[in-house]
């Protein structure tokens, strides 16, 4: 088996484990057992556990990007693109085939009291989410689909809050109605600032 194939398999096993049990459950042994490798086989690709965890977060961000941003619906930007993105983002892990919650959202919570490079990687991923929201909101504002006095940073913060609340409700609390509630919250916020 080639080195790249093995590395890809390690990261997929890591993504699944982080989704189902959280990033803090990742050890060389937990990955090796699920990937049918020796610990040494995992260490050969990721010499430090922090390297492995950061790579899992990078893989999660890449999977999020392909799942949430890689679909061309032809809606033409503006508010329809923002709403389409939000509808896909909420519950994106199921669409991506992950067995549980969002590895990035889970890492943000898990690592809040653990400073270091892995926490910084989780924060960087959250920053990409925030910048994506701000870009989509600005486009909707530029196209006059949203009020011109929309506070872009605040709206991004509000929408990110809905996403994180959905993650907790859906995956930590197992609320079967979490998707509907999150979608309703998005509709209410957007309706309150749509251009008239």
| Cα–Cα separations (whole angstroms), residue 52 to 26, 57, 117 | 9, 9, 11
What is residue 72's predicted lDDT score, i.e. its pLDDT?
59
Cα separation, 79 vs 68, in Å, equals 16
Q: How far apart are the first and last CA of the chain?
A: 59
**Phi, psi (5° rounding) for residue 194?**
-65, 145
Domain chopping of the chain, boundaries: 59-193
CATH architecture of the region 59-193: Orthogonal Bundle (1.10)
Given a cut of 70, the residues of the chain with pLDDT beneath it are: 1, 71-75, 195-196
Contact between 175 and 125 under an 8 Å Cβ cutoff? The reply is no
For the entire predicted model, the pTM comes to 0.91
């Amino acid at each position: 088996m080639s080195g790249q194939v093995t590395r890809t398999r390690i990261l997929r096993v890591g993504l699944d484990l982080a989704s189902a049990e959280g990033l803090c459950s990742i050890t060389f042994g937990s990955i090796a057992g699920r990937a049918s490798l020796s610990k040494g086989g995992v260490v050969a690709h990721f010499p430090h556990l922090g390297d492995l965890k950061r790579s899992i977060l990078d893989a999660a961000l890449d999977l999020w990007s392909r799942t949430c941003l890689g679909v061309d619906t032809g809606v033409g930007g503006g508010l329809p693109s923002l709403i389409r993105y939000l509808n896909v983002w909420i519950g994106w892990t199921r669409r991506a085939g992950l067995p549980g919650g969002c590895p990035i959202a889970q890492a943000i919570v898990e690592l809040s009291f653990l400073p270091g490079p892995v926490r910084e990687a989780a924060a960087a991923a959250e920053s990409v989410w925030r910048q994506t929201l701000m870009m989509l909101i600005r486009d909707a504002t530029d196209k006059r689909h949203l009020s011109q006095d929309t506070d872009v940073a605040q709206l991004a913060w509000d929408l990110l809050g809905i996403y994180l609340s959905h993650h907790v409700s859906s995956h930590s609390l197992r609320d079967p109605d979490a998707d509907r509630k999150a979608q309703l919250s998005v509709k209410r916020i957007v309706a309150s600032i749509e251009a008239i």
